[in-house]
Amino acid sequence: MNRYTPIVGAIASGLCLFIAMQHTVVFLAWLALVPVFILLFNGSGFTPFRAGIIMGATLACCAFAWMITGVQAFTGLSVGYGVGLFLLCVMLFSLGCAGVLWLAFRIPNPLYIAAVWTLAEIVLQWAASGLPWFLFHAGNAVSANLYAIQPAAVIGVAGISFIIVWVNALIAKAIANGRYKQLLFPGSIVVGYICWGWLSLVLFERTNNVAQQPGFKLAILQQNIPPELQWDEANGNALANQLLQQERQCIAKHPNLILWSESVIPWTYAPNDDLVKELLRNSNAANISHVLGMNTAITNDVVCNSAYCLLPGGKLAGRYDKRTPLLFIEQCWQGLLLPFVSANGYSVLPGSNNLPLSTPYGKAGILICNESALPAAAASTVKQGAQFLLNLSNDGWFSNTWLVNSHFYNARLRAVETRKDVAINSNNGRCGLISASGRITEEDLVTIRPNAVQAIAVLYTFLPACICVCIVLAIIIINQKTKLT
């Protein structure tokens, strides 16, 4: 074997994994890890730790490249800060991948490898919830395929990751050992998995059409204001008039509810705020309610990133505060906070609960920005009675990157995992409705159908983790007994 072959294999897996996960190329999901796994199964002398470093660095260089110019745009600092953050994140992610492959190949069994990989994803999801750029799931790769995402309602995105990594490991082991007939087994798993998805979709749509409550009309007000644009004396009136005009356009479509994006009005909420009063005055005659993104003042330099439910006449029905602010950007960590240009010197205080907002049309679970990447956030609000989900966000900072589609497809996974309609309003991002079945409607007037479904992935959030722990322990015990005999 050429001495460069292992390096090429690890790089190939890193590139394929990035394309599969972040560009949602579903067929590549079943093959992305095969090159690096073949090297580790055939005893090439290439250690799992070294393979993980190279694969992880390749994936991270592609996934974090936006930071180089992005940090400069966010903070107003020099591009050197972006380069520094990029290198730090690549190093940390590479070491993490190296550790996962080192642990996974302690016992070169495909089930064990898949279980260790999945547990690592689950731990990362918990540890880096405020750093969404680290939240990679192999299962994200299937999110663009309607049938392949359906099992998420039972096993969640973590369970999908397990099946994908298991298939990759089975294929790689068969090729490494030259036993090509064994490829029939992973092939049958993929076919069975897609058939499961198809059947799940058919059964859910058949039963949900009977059980769901009457729908209501929701207008998505897409302001598409550049995120770096400042509301000051020079352009404040023009921006306010733009919002008022866009609201009139929404009102003309006769919705029941208008959904605004995250922090659409860049100052803190007050009941007598002139702009809010004018917005409500326009819609009162049409009996329209609003879910409005606007910060809440806590102290002089601390706010909550909030979503307000405002009823006709201005009555406040409730408020949700973002529970998982972005670390270093919204929330301070160990005294570190990047000078985010649109934050006006504020830091964000995490909210205290995931209670849904009570609207006239049912209970709305709220996910703000990166919370749509957190399965636990969606599951938590559904457990507390949410009948549909609303995702308020701002993708203006990433409008020319792969992050926009990734953000949208994360919400699609949440829709299927929870079996709840998800309406998305992302400033300068992808907006629309993702139904509980996973079907997509990218329009600014949509029909939401609340439901009381409690999906298995919501009721038993830790099921994939428990199964993986059992697999790991069982294989360790079997492996030890085999060594003794």
Instruction: Give the residue, 338 or 158, on which the prediction is more confident.
Output: 158
What residue segments make up the domains of the chain, in order of their start? 5-209+462-484, 212-454
Structure confidence by residue, pLDDT tens digits, 303-334 = 999 999 999 988 999 999 999 988 877 777 76
Confidence of residue 346 (pLDDT cuts 50, 70, 90): confident
The pTM of the full predicted model, rounded to 2 decimals, is 0.93
pLDDT digits (tens, 9 = 90+) for 147-171: 999 999 999 999 999 999 999 999 9
Which SS3 state, helix, strand or coil, does residue 440 take?
Answer: strand
Residue 288 neighbours by CB under 8 Å, 6+ apart: 251, 255, 256, 257, 258, 312
Stronger pLDDT, 481 or 284, i.e. the higher one? 284
The beta-carbon contacts of 193-196 under 8 Å, at least 24 apart in sequence, are 193/148, 193/151, 193/163, 194/147, 194/148, 196/150, 196/151
Cα separation of 8 and 15, whole Å? 10
Answer yes or no: CATH 3.60.110.10 is held by domain 212-454: yes
Residue 345: Cβ-neighbour burial (10 angstroms; 0-12, 13-18, 19+): exposed
The amino acid at residue 175 is: I
Roughly how many angstroms between the first and final C-alpha of the chain, as a whole number? 34
Structure confidence at residue 409 (pLDDT): 94
Per-residue pLDDT reduced to its tens digit, 439-467: 999 999 999 999 999 999 999 999 999 99
Going by C-alpha positions, the residue among 5, 33, 7 that lies closest to residue 19 is 33
